[in-house]
Structure 1
Amino acid sequence: MAALDVLLGLGSTADLLRLVAVPAFAWAAYRDVRTRRVPNRLWPPLVGVGVLVLALDFAGGLPAGFGGEIALLRISVSVGLVAPLGYVFFRVGGFGGADAKAVIALAVLFPLYPVYYLPFDALPMHAATLGVFSLTILTNTVAAGALYPVGLAARNLSRGHLAPPMVVGRPARIEDLSTAHGSLMETPDGYTRRGLDLDALRMYLRWRGTTLPAVRESPDHHRDPTSLPPPGARNDPGDGAVGDGPPVADGGTQRVEPEPRTDDAAEPTAVAAEVDLDPTGGAATEDPWGAEAFLDEIEGTAYGTTPSKLRDGLEVVADPDRETVWFTPGIPFVVPMFVGLVVALTYGDVLFVVLRVLGLLP
């Protein structure tokens, strides 16, 4: 191992192996933008590499005396504090499954500052005093994420889209929502920060065997709960993925999409009408769109969707007088995390440099 280090002259073997995170996170960021889904199989190998490089660090020998104690403290903070924080944020809803696993992988891979020697300098250029590199990556991630609303507002302003949600959302044609990711920012009563998740909308449409254009063409028919297919003819809703293939999402399982039903099967039947009548013999109008039936039948909560939120979202997208609607694409957190990783490996800790320039740090 030592011979390899000398031959390359760029850094220790452990630090060079850590660079596998760069292409891995680049691919994860790409997948996060395109599909909002990162396969689970990416993270165990990265954690495995992290364990290996930690073993190499110990085998190479930590600094003697107090320096070694500091290194052990930094490793303890990264593995014992930063990694569990990723899980905690996932449990409270602050992170998605992929985001939490990415934080855990980074905490194991980068507890200490790596060093890479170039002809003109050594990278990273600026190290934080605390010296826990995974924390540097996370603070850089937050800084990169903070630029997203600024860019979104500038984009909307340049296109003349002036509205209260312009800092966190953008308008889109309703017909394009079928392949968009994010959540609606409008209800029949006005703007909202917690509108219908578009993945949940796709789940609903698949479940009842219809499409967004069909809903817009005949909203009254779809609003009537007696128009739902009978229970045996309803589809597996999947997990809201855009692609036609059987997706595997974080925390999810392989789902096989059922064969498309014929137009005749999608039409309401006498059996369906009888099933959906209330005990008094009247139409079950207390469940417009069959929203409660959908959420009662599926597994999980459809990304926090409630019957009222689903109904509000459907009323917005079914409104024939609307051509566009505001929605927020959100921030795929793995994307700023990739940016934060690259900046940390090259420039270093952005927050530390800013605080030092402001005179808040020596």
Structure 2
Amino acid sequence: MTLADVATIPDLLRLVAVPVFAWVAVRDIKTRRVSSAVWIPLSLLGAVLLVWDGWLAWTAGGYAWTYDFLLPTAVSLGFVVPIAYLFWWVGGIGGADAKALLVLALLFPVYPEYAVGSWTFPLTTMPVAAFAFTVLVNTVFIGLAAPIFLAVRNAVAGRFTGVMFIGWPVSWDAVPETHGRLLETPDGPSRGGLDLDALRMYLRWRGLTLVDVRDDPDRYRDPATLPDEPNPPTDGAVTAAVRGDGGTAFEAESADNGADSAGDDVETDADARASDGEDEPPAFDDPWGAAAFLEDIDGSAYGTRPAELREGLEVLATTETVWISPGTPFLVPTFLGLLVALGYGNLFIGPLL
């Protein structure tokens, strides 16, 4: 048998989602960014195929309309869609992840069926054949492998800490190119530290690199060194361009304008302290200009608070190796969950049937 011997035309057209989800999974790993434009054609295709399937089930009548189409479609759209929105609303997944689940609910409301040789896939089905629900279950099931992998990796290296299930150590100079969240504060490990995208936004806003911060942390703790005309912070993506002028261009311009800045002709608190032989850093109303940054940008830096940004900068200014949580590129388990669903079915319930 061939695919077309069993599959309906709508089911065959649905397979276009496989290479698309493979591509967005790769994008999620590399950039943690997926354009919303990716989901528009899949959503339109899903809507057309949903109507097509409904018409086929209606013409088949009775049982096919109620149990093979109406009930699983109601579960897919009435359960998976609200769950995706809830996960996004509480911050458990990103916007692209939620859109992927919404698209799957629309594109795969019922179980497809494909034949390869003497095999018919998926190998197992469900009492209520809501295929999008199966993909969701598989995604969560596969996603649970991430903390297990991290724990094993850290245990093999002899790293036994309270955050070994959610992160691993990296050198400070890898942080600007790393996705995830800092798991350290000046007071010790933390499960909810600074978002590294927010860190990149801050550095770009100031026109700094992490090297600049580490070379002269006392200088940049002083909010007087904030630029008069900050750079666009971007969205914090690793691939965005970064200015590495150390803020000097901004400071020199401010000095020329007579502003109280940290240019070459203006003495900062850090400079005065060094000349007096003091070692303790001064107390600022807004250390690092964290609050000023968050107030100035258009929107939110992924929910970052000034205290989180300050604590993260204090750690990164002096620590050689830091623990970070890479997070889970959710579209990867989603893609794998889709593949498993197409080949086997529901990883959790299938073995029980």
What's the TM-score, normalizing by structure 1? Answer: 0.85
Q: Residue 213 of structure 2: SS of its match in structure 1?
A: helix
Identical pairs, percent = 48
Which residue type is aligned with residue 27 of structure 1? Answer: W
Per-residue displacement from partner, 1:66-106 (whole Å, max 9, x unpaired)? 34212212112212332233223322322211011101100
The corresponding residue for 2:273 is none
The corresponding residue for 2:236 is 240
Unmatched 5+ stretches in structure 2: 263-267, 269-281
1:69 corresponds to 2:66: yes
Per-residue displacement from partner, 1:214-263 (whole Å, max 9, x unpaired)? 10111101111111122xx2111111011136xxxxxxxxxxx8x87697
Q: Residue 350 of structure 1: SS of its match in structure 2?
A: coil
1:126 corresponds to 2:124: yes
Matches within 5 A, 1:285-304: 285-304=284-303
Q: Residue 117 of structure 1: SS of its match in structure 2?
A: strand
1:332 corresponds to 2:319: no
Per-residue displacement from partner, 1:329-350 (whole Å, max 9, x unpaired)? 0111111110100000001111
1:32 corresponds to 2:28: yes
Question: In the alignment, which of 1, 5, 9 is matched to residue 9 of structure 1?
Answer: 5
Question: In the alignment, which of 169, 176, 179 is matched to residue 178 of structure 1?
Answer: 176
Asked if 1 retains the 8 angstrom alpha-carbon contact of 2:108 and 2:131, the reply is yes
Which residue type is aligned with residue 296 of structure 1? Answer: E
Shift of 1:305: 0.5
Q: Residue 322 of structure 2: SS of its match in structure 1?
A: strand
The corresponding residue for 2:347 is 350
Asked if 2 retains the 8 angstrom alpha-carbon contact of 1:43 and 1:101, the reply is yes
Shift of 1:285: 1.3
CA distance in 1, matches of 2:316, 2:3: 62
Q: Number of matched residues?
A: 330
Shift of 1:185: 0.3
Question: Which is worse superposed, 333-342 or 152-161?
Answer: 152-161
1:318 corresponds to 2:317: yes
The corresponding residue for 1:250 is none
The corresponding residue for 1:22 is 18
Unmatched 5+ stretches in structure 1: 246-256, 278-282, 357-361
CA distance in 2, matches of 1:117, 1:48: 26
Q: Residue 325 of structure 1: SS of its match in structure 2?
A: strand
Which residue type is aligned with residue 300 of structure 1? Answer: G
Which residue type is aligned with residue 148 of structure 2? Answer: V
Asked if 1 retains the 8 angstrom alpha-carbon contact of 2:234 and 2:240, the reply is no
Per-residue displacement from partner, 1:22-44 (whole Å, max 9, x unpaired)? 11111111111110101111001
CA distance in 2, matches of 1:123, 1:204: 49
Per-residue displacement from partner, 1:262-296 (whole Å, max 9, x unpaired)? 97414464444269x9xxxxx98110000111011
Question: In the alignment, which of 198, 201, 223 is matched to residue 199 of structure 2?
Answer: 201
Q: 1:263 to 1:110 in 2, by over 3 A?
A: closer
Q: 1:262 to 1:227 in 2, by over 3 A?
A: closer
The corresponding residue for 2:165 is 167
Question: In the alignment, which of 84, 93, 96 is matched to residue 94 of structure 2?
Answer: 96
